[in-house]
């Protein structure tokens, strides 16, 4: 379950949060395919509760397993999967199997009624016997209080969400049917929401009944790619290694350590051996990110610490390191605009859903000639610094990190074999001379003139941004001013004049 089934050397996933399927299909053909992205994570696709104000998190409150949300219906979903696979881009669906809705009642996005108090979900159907209750959950109010306690975390309710009894054959079968339906349509895999709150053995049993991937798009006997949301930072919480035999885990320590370094709480020079030596799971078990749909609003981690699109320079630099370093499968968050208002360390608009018209329909994405999107959509995955680092990673392939250099503080540089080279400068102390990165360095690159793909593209054999000359020994003068628009430069053999 840990092979993402990327095509060729592609290696990066982007989460197009809340996008409509027709738009994602367009994006696969016009941008993601041509620019070398490997896959898209789509927001939960199944029917969910319609909540007041239409917060983004209503998609995490399932009402049935019908494919029908504001992103589109089953027909639109199928069309997207076809188009993206044909463009060389895989689709991964965010699946919410741990629970159904909170303790309210109402209508779902495909018209089914639900009642969270009575635990009635006729759209599946699920009834009260399909949920954990006092026989299995030890807390008085059936809520999780201690996240480190396995029984509580897995048999009680996560923030009030009705907790499915996945020990039940009936519940398992409904979920197996849903996943097989998605597999047959042609998806490549799943993000498993709230895995920590589900028993590994139940998940194992569900996965053992999954079909092989659709061989219209995948080779025979391919298993779905599954990556687990397990928030583990060490200590006596539920260890994410309980899930590594069930696919990959989202390595939250990656985000936390990198964010900490890029916020200058720890020196960049220490990144030299970043990975398992820092306590992270082996690269082959990890999926990594800088930002996510939760982190951006502080629903996990900490607002002010997490790096989101409102700190673009920092986000780009941290993302560049993620894409240049050879660890895990990186996922790039692509968000929509919301009015961030921070009060007492909390974003009071952390609930705001995707941009819509006055009827509540999600707005379409319309790319501008300069590659950005209509202002409602941030489209981080289309920022030059980010899409060109996706290309960097594609070109670096499996080449090792070589030619590490650091100034003993917050300036670093390294190459990926003799194919690509990056230098990052986050130096904050010292005089201007110390703060600028100005150094003759070994780039590992063959001699020639290279464009810095961060400050501009190579167009008609000319660099639109900065460039360097690499001599016959691989040396070059590298410059990153401390006050430049971007905190890093990057060169690779695909952008040589
Ligand atoms: C909504 C309302 C609730 C209401 C509920 C039911 O907001 O007020 O009670 O409906 O009516 C999303 C939203 C929720 C929303 C939910 C359903 O984020 O606000 O609830 O949809 O609409 C835990 C879980 C993790 C989960 C995360 C948000 O373990 O699985 O909380 N993430 C996923 C999704 C997320 C989604 C759901 C799950 C539910 O990505 O979008 O919720 O489908 C500790 C725990 C973690 C815990 C975090 C965050 O982490 O260990 O397990 O994650 O707290 O609460 C330190 C600690 C570390 C701690 C960390 C972060 O470093 O060491 O342990 O800080 O605080």
20 and 141 assigned to the same domain: yes
Q: Residue 1: inside a domain, yes or no?
A: no
Find the domain containing 52 and state its range: 13-396
- Of 53, 300, 301, which is best to mutate to test ligand 1, by the most ligand atoms within 8 angstroms of its C-beta? 300
Percentage of residues in the chain having pLDDT higher than 90: 99
What is the rounded average pLDDT for all residues in the chain? 98
359 CA to middle of ligand 1, Å?
29
Extract the tokens encoding 442. 């070994």
- Give the pLDDT score at 260: 98
pLDDT-based confidence at residue 429 (cuts at 50, 70, 90): confident
Q: 299-329 pLDDT, tens per residue? A: 999 999 999 999 999 999 999 999 999 999 9
pLDDT-based confidence at residue 430 (cuts at 50, 70, 90): confident
- Give the pLDDT score at 433: 87
Q: 134-169 pLDDT, tens per residue? A: 999 999 999 999 999 999 999 999 999 999 999 999
158 CA to middle of ligand 1, Å?
7
Q: Residue 28: inside a domain, yes or no?
A: yes
279 and 414 assigned to the same domain: no
379 and 488 assigned to the same domain: no
Q: Residue 342: inside a domain, yes or no?
A: yes
The CATH code of the domain that includes 448 is 2.60.40.1180
Residues in the chain: 497
Residue nearest to atom 62 of ligand 1 (CA): 301
Q: Mean of the pLDDT values across residues 56-79?
A: 98
488 and 350 assigned to the same domain: no
Residue nearest to atom 36 of ligand 1 (CA): 60
* Residue 308 CA, distance from chain mean position: 12
Closest ligand 1 atom number to CA of residue 159: 9
318 and 349 assigned to the same domain: yes
- Does the model's ipTM exceed the 0.90 cut? yes
300 CA to middle of ligand 1, Å?
6
130 and 116 assigned to the same domain: yes
Q: Residue 7: inside a domain, yes or no?
A: no
C-alpha 310/C-alpha 308 separation (Å) is: 5
359 and 423 assigned to the same domain: no
Domain-terminating residue out of 367, 396, 425: 396
Domain-terminating residue out of 373, 396, 419: 396
69 CA to middle of ligand 1, Å?
22
Closest ligand 1 atom number to CA of residue 116: 11
409 and 381 assigned to the same domain: no
Residues with a CB atom less than 6 Å from ligand 1:
57-58, 60-61, 96, 102, 147, 158-161, 193-194, 196, 229, 231, 233, 237, 294, 299-301
Residue nearest to atom 28 of ligand 1 (CA): 299
Residue nearest to atom 48 of ligand 1 (CA): 300
163 and 233 assigned to the same domain: yes
15 CA to middle of ligand 1, Å?
18
Q: Residue 5: inside a domain, yes or no?
A: no
Residue nearest to atom 6 of ligand 1 (CA): 102
Q: 84-111 pLDDT, tens per residue? A: 999 999 999 999 999 999 999 999 999 9
74 and 185 assigned to the same domain: yes
Secondary structure of residue 155 in the 3-state scheme: helix
The CATH code of the domain that includes 181 is 3.20.20.80
Q: Residue 104: inside a domain, yes or no?
A: yes
- Of 231, 252, 254, 292, which is best to mutate to test ligand 1, by the most ligand atoms within 8 angstroms of its C-beta? 231
pLDDT-based confidence at residue 399 (cuts at 50, 70, 90): very high
351 and 477 assigned to the same domain: no
Bridge partners (DSSP) listed for residue 416: 401, 420
Closest ligand 1 atom number to CA of residue 294: 41
Secondary structure of residue 331 in the 3-state scheme: strand
* Overall number of domains in the chain: 2
- Write the DSSP symbol of residue 296: G
122 and 177 assigned to the same domain: yes
194 CA to middle of ligand 1, Å?
8
Catalytic residue annotation: 193, 229
| Helices 200-207 + 169-185 axis angle, to 10 | 50
pLDDT-based confidence at residue 432 (cuts at 50, 70, 90): confident
Q: Residue 313: inside a domain, yes or no?
A: yes
Whether the Cβ atoms of residue 254 and residue 293 lie closer than 8 Å to each other: no
């Amino acid at each position: 379950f840990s092979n993402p089934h990327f095509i060729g050397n592609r290696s990066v996933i982007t989460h197009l949060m809340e996008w409509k399927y027709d738009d994602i299909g367009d994006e696969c053909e016009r941008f993601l395919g041509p620019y070398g992205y490997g896959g898209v994570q789509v927001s939960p696709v199944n029917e969910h509760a319609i909540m007041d104000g239409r917060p983004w998190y209503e998609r995490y409150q399932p009402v049935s397993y019908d494919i029908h949300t504001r992103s589109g219906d089953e027909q639109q979903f199928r069309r997207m999967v076809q188009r993206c696979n044909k463009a060389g881009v895989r689709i991964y669906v965010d699946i919410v199997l741990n629970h159904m809705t909170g303790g309210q009642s109402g209508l779902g996005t495909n018209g089914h009624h639900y009642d969270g108090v009575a635990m009635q979900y006729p759209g599946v159907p699920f009834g009260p016997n399909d949920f954990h209750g006092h026989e299995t959950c030890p807390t008085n109010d059936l809520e999780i209080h201690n996240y480190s306690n396995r029984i509580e975390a897995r048999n009680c309710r996560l923030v009030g969400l009705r907790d499915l009894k996945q020990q039940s054959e009936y519940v398992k079968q409904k979920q197996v049917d849903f996943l097989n339906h998605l597999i047959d349509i042609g998806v490549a895999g799943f993000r498993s929401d709230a895995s920590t709150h589900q028993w590994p053995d139940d998940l194992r049993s569900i996965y053992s009944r999954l079909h092989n991937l659709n061989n219209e798009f995948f080779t025979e006997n391919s298993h779905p790619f599954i990556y687990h949301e397990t928030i583990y930072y060490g200590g006596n919480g539920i260890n994410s290694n309980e899930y590594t035999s069930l696919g990959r885990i989202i390595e939250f320590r990656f985000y936390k350590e990198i964010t900490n370094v890029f916020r200058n709480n720890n020196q960049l020079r220490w990144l030299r051996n970043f990975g398992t030596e820092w306590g992270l799971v082996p690269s082959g078990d990890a999926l990594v990110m800088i930002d996510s749909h939760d982190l951006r609003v502080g629903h996990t981690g900490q607002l002010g610490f997490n790096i989101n699109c409102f700190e673009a320079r920092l986000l780009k630099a941290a993302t560049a390191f993620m894409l240049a370093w050879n660890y895990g499968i990186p996922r790039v968050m692509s968000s929509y605009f919301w009015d961030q208002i921070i009060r007492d360390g909390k974003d009071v608009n952390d609930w705001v859903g995707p941009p819509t018209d006055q009827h509540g329909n999600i707005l379409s994405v319309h790319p501008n000639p300069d590659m950005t999107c209509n202002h409602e959509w941030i489209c981080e995955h289309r920022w030059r610094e980010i899409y060109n680092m996706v290309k960097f990673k594609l070109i670096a392939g499996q080449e090792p990190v070589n030619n590490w250099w650091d100034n003993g503080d917050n300036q670093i540089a390294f190459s990926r074999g003799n194919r690509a080279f990056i230098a990052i400068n986050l130096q904050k102390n010292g005089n201007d001379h110390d703060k600028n990165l100005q150094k003759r360095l070994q780039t590992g690159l063959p001699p020639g003139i290279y464009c810095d793909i961060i400050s501009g593209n190579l167009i008609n054999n000319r660099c639109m941004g900065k460039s360097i000359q690499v001599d016959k020994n691989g040396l070059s003068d590298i410059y990153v001013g401390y006050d430049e628009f971007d905190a890093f430069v990057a060169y690779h053999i695909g952008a040589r004049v």
